Amino acid sequence: LDETFQDIKDLTSKHHGRVVIAALPSAASSVIAAVISRIRANYPGVRVTIMEGLAGAISDAVLRRDADFGFGADFSSNSELEFMPMITDKLVGIFPQADPILASEKITWQMLSSRPFITFSGASSIQYYVDRALNEAGLGLQRGGEVTQMTTAISLVKAGVGFTTLPELALNSLNLEGVAIRPIVKPTATRTLGTLSLVRRSPSPAAQVARTVLAETCAQFEITS
């Protein structure tokens, strides 16, 4: 109740207020972290709360109005939600450092079809776009285990259980010691990230500030590999 009254007071200034952003973990640790840094430096009166969750949880948070807007992949077909694309991310392969396949100049999905693959939960945007790339190539992969967290997938790769894929945007926030990163082609798995918001909900001044800074950050973000 106190926060609600404060939000009403904050409407008098676009440089003050509270905004809740629902975001994919991979985006929260990279893009959203940079957004919060810029907001704190330029709009110290704006308070930001991050709700981390998988793609379905982000849509639900926005629909319930628990979050002012979401930042993730466009999974929802709900007509009440509007998706605004902002950045394209690439999924790259994560392999044990001693994997012989690393000697290959290019690694394709065809070359990996007989290898155990550490998959992500079906609610994960990572798995959705990997499956889409595999369907495009007309291939399937052996399942070497299913996880929900990127750190768990990395641990399994280090243990030699199999290989996995991770979003390039998230790599700088992860401990990748003991693994090797390589692009996987034919085709390259990519995902488009953007904001999810209610069609009939006008953003608060603080939310509008956050969305503007988010758009600026995405425009300047560099994919490293």
Tell me, what's the pLDDT at 10?
A: 52
Tell me, what's the pLDDT at 211?
A: 94
Strand duo 190-198 + 69-73: pairing: antiparallel
CB 142: neighbour CB atoms within 10 A?
11
Model confidence at 76: pLDDT above 90: no
Model confidence at 14: pLDDT above 80: no
* pLDDT, tens digit, 9 for 90 and up, residues 173-213: 899 999 999 999 999 999 999 999 999 888 888 999 999 99
| SS (HEC) of 47-97 | EEEEEECCHHHHHHHHHCCCCCEEEEECCCCCCCEEEEEEEEEEEEEEEEC
Model confidence at 35: pLDDT above 90: yes
Nearest to 169 by CA among 103, 102, 217, 105: 217
Tell me, what's the pLDDT at 132?
A: 92
Q: What is the pTM of this model?
A: 0.83
Tell me, what's the pLDDT at 2?
A: 64
Tell me, what's the pLDDT at 95?
A: 98
Cα separation, 38 vs 208, whole angstroms: 14
Model confidence at 26: pLDDT above 60: yes
Cα 112 to chain centroid, rounded: 24
